[in-house]
Amino acid sequence: MRSVFIYLRILLLIGGLLMCRIVHGIQIIPASLNIHTSPMSFMMEENPVSPDSVISLFRQGRFTSTNKDFINFGSTYHRYWMHFSIEAEVAPMPLMLELTNPLLYGIEVFEENEDKLILIYNTGSDAVFSQRPFNYHNFIFPITITTQHEKHFFIRLDRRQEILKFTANLYSQSAFIQKQNKEYLFYGCFAGVMLFALLFSAFLLIMLKESVHAWYIFYICLISLFVFTDNGMTYEFIWPEAVFWNKHARTLLGMLTFPIQLRFMQLFISQKITESRYYRWVNYCILLFLTLAAGFIVMLINRYEFSPAVFMCFRICFYIAYCTGVLLVFLSLAEKIKEGNKVAKIYLLAIAALLMQIVIVMMIRWHWLPIAIDTSRTMTICIALEIAILTLGLAFRYQFYYKQKLQLEFELIEQQHASLLKVVAAVEEEQRRVAADLHDGLGGTLAVAKSLLQQGHKSWEVIDQACKDLRHIAHDLMPQYFDDITLGAALADAVEKAGSTTSVRFMFIQNGEPQALDKSTELHIFRIVNELIHNIRKHSNADNAIIQLSYFPTGIELMVEDDGSGIQDGKNKGIGLSNLYSRVGYLKGTVNIDSNSQGTTVMCNIPFN
């Protein structure tokens, strides 16, 4: 667990250093461009302000200047006015102004001309995409400086009920075209990575038919849509006319993506309810996210206009659910890593960079980390890394669990082999006992009969006894008509015959509704009872014995009791009892023996399966 947090600290430190950039004012690209810009200044529009009065408010000092290029006002419920000026050394100078937030609801760009503001552009994410002055996922405004005198621009920004943050960049036309080509190449590579992962997962799903791959495909589709919606490309290429949907798509996709990721994690690391204390809590978190998403969808379908209170309630619930889910992810992974699960380490490595990115973004939003980050690009890189590692991890996971399965199968085969050896030993011991019975019983009787015949005496009674002994031994091996009678009837017959040939009084009791078993299982149970009867007759010194056969919904309970002298110390592991354990173990059952000077009770529980 300690190593997990060490890795995360290192990633946070490295990620923070890599992603931060220190720039003052509007960034000019290329830096050699012969223009000068003033610092940006802002004014919050607490009450509606007409464009005609903005210039006078600016001159009165109502605008607050800043030398930062990364603007972050946090959650806002007001519109803002922005001012900057440009002075070119060479005119005319065509420029491209970029605002790097594709989800700015409203943008009105004004140019000052003779102490009046002239509206030159009016667009935003609340307008159809065709209304943008330049087809690009971010907001691009072509500006031409026609004079060497300082030119003033005012922009009204609307991002109410959301976080207002952006950077402002000025490009020459050639520099912007290069930037645009690089940008599309970057997101094209990201789309290629996601498509490869999608096809590879589909192949694994078809070949292996494991649900983890179906959930992974679902996750890839949702996270890809989230990325392209976050940087504005879905609005550019997929739904350029769906203004209402575009406004809320990112929120909904976030609500759907995280529970899918949680479910995929459960399957990826093989988290099960019987093995993990966090399984139920992860499911509760998934249910909470799906409930939020369902409520959000209902309001979208009804075109509900979100009031600030409702929107803030949704945001708080989402943050609570998300933080809880992240905590459960770490606890689940730590639990599996502690168990030695290598797959959990791969999953931790995959999501570490993404979680680091999310933590940094939240810290920036809450003004805990005052650095400038292109969050869309870094989020895209982190997600691509996550998907690449998880895709490779799925292949490793298959190999890991395949080896684990082979090991379990090998251990099972060894256990079955050991059980079979014990059964063979039990059969051999039974053959030795039958041989002894033939030698001591039937053999002795026939020897007496032979002697009597040689002496000329009548030997019919002796020969009759020999026949009885032979029938008794044969009955012990396989009772007559065993295939045609029930197990209870066979045991009752065996108990009756045992009582007629010894001084021990035997009683047989059957309880429950008899259930049909295969003859092999019934024969094993019959021989288990025979072994116990034989032990009672030979070793118990008992006067009474009771054999009970009870049927239950899940299995059979066999109880044999006697009032003998009990099992002597050191004989609990004798050959007869060893055979008993072997036969019951072969049937996946259990044996419990309670023995003292007052008698012995043997309890055998044999499941139906």
CA–CA separation, 243 vs 15, rounded Å? 34
Residue 236 CB: number of other CB atoms within 10 A?
Answer: 17
- Predicted confidence (pLDDT) per residue in 185-196, tens digit: 999 999 999 999
SS3 at position 257: helix
Whose CA is closest to 419, among 276, 286, 578? Answer: 578
Tell me the mean pLDDT in the region 110-137. 93
Residue at a domain's end among 111, 143, 178: 178
Asked, for residue 403, whether it belongs to a domain, the answer is no
On the question of pLDDT at 57 being above 60, the answer is: yes
Length of the chain, please?
609
Q: For residue 47, give both structure tokens.
A: 């009450």
On the question of pLDDT at 287 being above 90, the answer is: yes
pLDDT at 107: 96
Residue at a domain's end among 178, 211, 240: 178
Whose CA is closest to 155, among 195, 196, 120? Answer: 120
CA–CA separation, 280 vs 131, rounded Å? 49
pLDDT at 370: 58
DSSP state at residue 68? B
Tell me the mean pLDDT in the region 576-596. 84
CA–CA separation, 590 vs 267, rounded Å? 34
9-23, 72-86, 257-271, range with the lowest pLDDT: 9-23
Asked, for residue 427, whether it belongs to a domain, the answer is no
Model confidence band, residue 142 (pLDDT cutoffs 50, 70, 90): very high
Q: What's the domain count of the chain? A: 2
Q: Which residue has the higher pLDDT, 271 or 312?
A: 271
pLDDT at 373: 60
Asked, for residue 131, whether it belongs to a domain, the answer is yes
- Predicted confidence (pLDDT) per residue in 370-383, tens digit: 555 667 788 888 89
Crossing angle, helix 243-268 and helix 342-365, to 10 degrees?
150
Q: Are 285 and 328 in contact (CB under 8 A)?
A: yes
CA–CA separation, 256 vs 245, rounded Å? 15
pLDDT at 284: 94
On the question of pLDDT at 7 being above 80, the answer is: no
Asked, for residue 44, whether it belongs to a domain, the answer is yes
Give the CATH number for residue 78. Answer: 2.60.40.2380
53-62, 126-135, 225-234, 310-319, range with the lowest pLDDT: 310-319
121: exposed, middle or buried (C-beta count within 10 Å: 0-12, 13-18, 19+)?
buried
Q: Which residue has the higher pLDDT, 130 or 340?
A: 130
On the question of pLDDT at 407 being above 80, the answer is: no
Asked, for residue 592, whether it belongs to a domain, the answer is yes
Give the CATH number for residue 566. Answer: 3.30.565.10
- Predicted confidence (pLDDT) per residue in 144-167, tens digit: 888 778 899 999 999 988 888 888
Q: Which range is most confident: 347-361, 513-527, 533-547?
A: 533-547
Asked, for residue 330, whether it belongs to a domain, the answer is no
On the question of pLDDT at 467 being above 80, the answer is: no
Whose CA is closest to 30, among 178, 144, 180? Answer: 178
On the question of pLDDT at 413 being above 50, the answer is: yes
Q: For residue 423, give both structure tokens.
A: 């059964």
Q: Are 97 and 213 in contact (CB under 8 A)?
A: no
Q: Which residues pair with 599 in a beta bridge?
A: 596
Q: Are 144 and 96 in contact (CB under 8 A)?
A: no
Four-CA torsion 180, 182, 186, 192, nearest 10 degrees: 90
Whose CA is closest to 563, among 507, 511, 510, 525? Answer: 507
Asked, for residue 462, whether it belongs to a domain, the answer is no
pLDDT at 20: 44
Model confidence band, residue 177 (pLDDT cutoffs 50, 70, 90): very high
Model confidence band, residue 443 (pLDDT cutoffs 50, 70, 90): low
CA–CA separation, 352 vs 430, rounded Å? 64
DSSP state at residue 438? I
On the question of pLDDT at 16 being above 50, the answer is: no
Q: Which residues pair with 547 in a beta bridge?
A: 508, 560
CA–CA separation, 497 vs 485, rounded Å? 16
pLDDT at 481: 59
Asked, for residue 369, whether it belongs to a domain, the answer is no
Residue 379's H or E segment, with its range, is helix 375-437
Q: Is the pTM of this model over 0.85?
A: no
pLDDT at 1: 47
Tell me the mean pLDDT in the region 282-300. 90
Q: Which residue has the higher pLDDT, 140 or 527?
A: 140
- Predicted confidence (pLDDT) per residue in 194-236, tens digit: 999 999 999 999 988 889 999 999 999 999 999 999 999 999 9
CA–CA separation, 480 vs 473, rounded Å? 12
Model confidence band, residue 462 (pLDDT cutoffs 50, 70, 90): low
Q: How would you label 425-434 residue by residue, b for 16+ Cβ within 10 Å and e otherwise?
A: ebeebbeebe
pLDDT at 69: 73
Tell me the mean pLDDT in the region 482-493. 82
Radius of gyration (Cα) for the chain, nearest Å? 42
- Structure-token match 């009084």, residue found: 505
Q: Which domain holds residue 510?
A: 484-609
CA–CA separation, 337 vs 538, rounded Å? 56
CA–CA separation, 480 vs 498, rounded Å? 15
Whose CA is closest to 389, among 344, 328, 339? Answer: 344
Residue at a domain's end among 147, 178, 209: 178
pLDDT at 281: 95
